Amino acid sequence: LGDDQTAVSTEIHIAVESERNLCQLRHPNIVRFLHIAQLEHASVVVFMELLDGRSLERFIDNKPLDEPKIRDFSEQICRALLYLHSRQPPVIHRDINCSNIIVCADNTRIQLIEFGLSIKLEQSVSHISASTQSPKGTLNFMAPELLGAGESDSERRAPALPDGRSAELRDFYSRCIAKDRRERSFALELLEHEFLLGSKL
């Protein structure tokens, strides 16, 4: 059992260090990680702030959001991602979806949660390669390049926006879901997009 115990201890150490790094995050649109404790029997407990709100998935509840609300929430998400990606080394969430975004009780502020799949992006080609070869996250929200070769283009296609949405929102959305990663915008680029700047011009 010696090798197995060593492997488990190593994994626990990595998990603890990863969560401790999350405890350093300070951003209004990211849940606060307060403390991490390692217990017996290879258990790790993470304490986070208690949020008063509901998931974006429940907030929408089949009722479409108007464009000002889409703009507001999108800007907050982009600012949170820019903060994470600007850290040294960058923190990559890897599972941004409606169930992992909390709309606070005032219905104006959102917070990213569920960092269980997040990684610190090491400056190592082998590490980056390994992370892309073992994709993790919610299937319907994964980048196309992380999916297997078995899915057809129709199965990979992102949902279309409903009729009546502005050209600015459609362009913003297309830059988020572009199949070619080279055409997909970074958080900073999205923050400079005319859709998000519309209310400030």
pLDDT digits (tens, 9 = 90+) for 136-167: 556 556 666 666 655 545 555 678 888 999 99
Q: What is the mean pLDDT of residues 84-110?
A: 91
CATH topology of domain 2-200: Transferase(Phosphotransferase); domain 1 (1.10.510)
**What pTM value is reported for the model?**
0.77
Residue 95 annotated as catalytic: yes
Please report the pLDDT score of residue 187 as a whole number: 96
Q: What is the pLDDT of residues 31-65, one digit of tens each?
A: 998 887 777 766 777 788 999 999 999 999 878 89
Residue keyed to tokens 């979806």 = 97
pLDDT of residue 124: 37
Judged against a pLDDT cut of 50, whether residue 68 lies above it is answered with yes
Question: Would you list the domain boundaries of the chain?
Answer: 2-200
Model confidence pLDDT, tens digit, residues 99-137: 999 999 999 999 999 876 566 554 333 444 444 445 555
Exactly one of 3, 4, 61, 95 is catalytic; which is it?
95
